[in-house]
Amino acid sequence: MIYRALLIKYAEIGIKGQNRYVFEDALCDKVRERLKAVADGFTCVREQGRIFVSCPEEYDFDEAIAAIRTIFGVWAICPAAVIEDASWDNLTQKVGDFIEAVYPERKFSFKVEARRADKKYPIQSPEICSNMGGYLLERFPELTVDVHDPDVKVQVEIRTNAYVFTQTIPGPGGMPVGANGRAMLLLSGGIDSPVAGYMIAKRGVAIDATYFHAPPYTSEQAKQKVVDLAKLISVYTGPIRLHVVNFTDVQLAIIDKCPRDELTIIMRRYMMRIAEHFAKECKSLGLVTGESIGQVASQTMQSLAATNAVCSLPVYRPLIAFDKQDIVDIALRINTYETSIEPYEDCCTIFVAKHPVTKPIIGVIERSEKKLEGTIEALVEEAIRTVEVINIG
Ligand code: ATP
Ligand code: MG
């Protein structure tokens, strides 16, 4: 394998002041952990605003890159060849060998960029660039130089070893998970909420999740689907404590006592109340949902206001202004879509009214909920008491 090093660049951590080193170390640990699953023999060190990965002789390159591309905070990955003896003749020879191996058809314009982290190196960066350019032109006469808009940037970095690379593979961006606290995701089996979890985690927020099921009206497969989705997003978000709440009795009480057209809104308000309980238990700083304005009756601005009204923690809605197709595109990219469209029932949809309110008035909803007083408290308590917590990832 020609690429015996991976230079990993990260971006926004730079602004985090004091905590910077903590996050850089966390990122380095994450790279180490992910690559361990690919092969033995990778070593990772943090150095001057980069992570340097030294790679074993044999490994699956695509798998290694894919693994690193799941790590939020990674801005770019540059696969590089390592040149242990950076003396000039050897350096030029090895950079030439690299170009020869990576580009069998050498019909491109190029420019050399040099970075001399080892200031003791006898040749300064501008000279490295021009002399290396001259060497490459001589060895490969079919190449041309274009310093303004080259097809290929031949980048040479001189540290203890020298590195040569030409490729910059974009990472997922964002910030390292955990850098910005923790939140509780309301995770259903749908398309939207797994994407919402992915997106909040991309901003450095660690997540736990709460799923409401209603056995026997919802099946074991529906629950398994949510477990599967949590596993899929945990590749990006890291470990998730998935709280599976039996919501049947609360739901039946609402159906029994409240107007049918308000059912969804009242149910959503109880979901938020219960999720908030677990959020506080998990030291979460907010709730996260997959809602987007106007997508369905329960997501009009009036409905969102009615759902919000019962929460004391902030509710984050990463998809609030997204069109469905945009959400589907992300779901496809992060590999949750196929699982999300499995046809198992959701507890929200089984008792849904034909004509749900689309402009609920909070006072009216509160009055309807009054009819639950005396019954609902014990049912909510029981739902909380009997929660099943599944550790994912
Ligand atoms: P999704 O695709 O995420 O299920 P949706 O378009 O089906 O969303 P709703 O069913 O109105 O919309 O749900 C809105 C949000 O409420 C979801 O994104 C999710 O965060 C939360 N939610 C809905 N049902 C459940 C459930 N059974 N358990 C946990 N959270 C839920
Ligand atoms: Mg849903």
Token pair for 329 = 């595109």
How many angstroms is it from 266 CA to the middle of ligand 1? Answer: 14
Q: What's the whole-model pTM score? A: 0.91
What pLDDT is recorded for position 16? 60
pLDDT in tens, 273-312: 999 999 999 999 999 999 999 888 889 999 999 999 999 9
Ligand 1 surroundings by CB, under 6 angstroms: 186-188, 190-193, 210-212, 271, 289-291, 295-296, 298-299, 346-348
Counting from 1 in the atom list of ligand 1, the atom nearest the Cα of 346 is 27
Mean pLDDT of the residues in the chain: 94
Structural domain tally of the chain? 2
Q: Determine the residue of 185, 187, 188, 346 to mutate for testing ligand 1's pocket, defined as the one with the most ligand atoms within 8 A of the Cβ atom.
A: 188
Residues 153 and 191 in one domain: no
User: Which atom of ligand 1 is nearest to 349's Cα?
Assistant: 10
User: Is the model's pLDDT at 245 over the cut of 60?
Assistant: yes
Amino acid at 289: T
Give the end of a domain, one of 149, 170, 191. 170
| 44/136 same-domain check | yes
- Residue 275 belongs to what domain range? 182-392
Decide: 162 and 91 in contact? Cβ < 8 Å.
yes
The reply to whether 221 and 97 lie within a common domain is: no
Residue-wise pLDDT for 15-61, tens only, equals 566 777 778 888 999 999 999 999 999 999 988 788 999 999 999 99
CA within 13 Å, CB half, 37: 13
For a ligand 1 pocket test, name from 192, 223, 254, 339 the mutation site with the most ligand atoms within 8 angstroms of its C-beta.
192
**pLDDT at residue 47, rounded to an integer:** 83
Residue with CA nearest ligand 1 atom 11:
298
How high is the pLDDT of residue 117?
84
Half-sphere exposure of 32 (CA within 13 A, CB side): 11
**Shared domain check, 161 and 17:** yes
Residues β-bridged to residue 23? none
Confidence at 14, pLDDT banded by 50, 70, 90? low
Ligand nearest to the CA of 327: 1
Residues in the chain: 393
Alpha-carbon dihedral angle through residues 31, 37, 42, 47, given to the nearest 10 degrees: 0
Name the residue with tokens 């960029």.
Answer: 113
DSSP characters over 206-242: EEEEEEEE-TTTS-HHHHHHHHHHHHHHHHHH--EEE
Of 170, 202, 225, the residue that ends a domain is 170
Read off the pLDDT of each residue in 249-265 and give the average, rounded to a whole number.
95
Q: Amino acid identity, residue 228?
A: D
54 token code pair: 């030294």
**341 and 232: one domain?**
yes
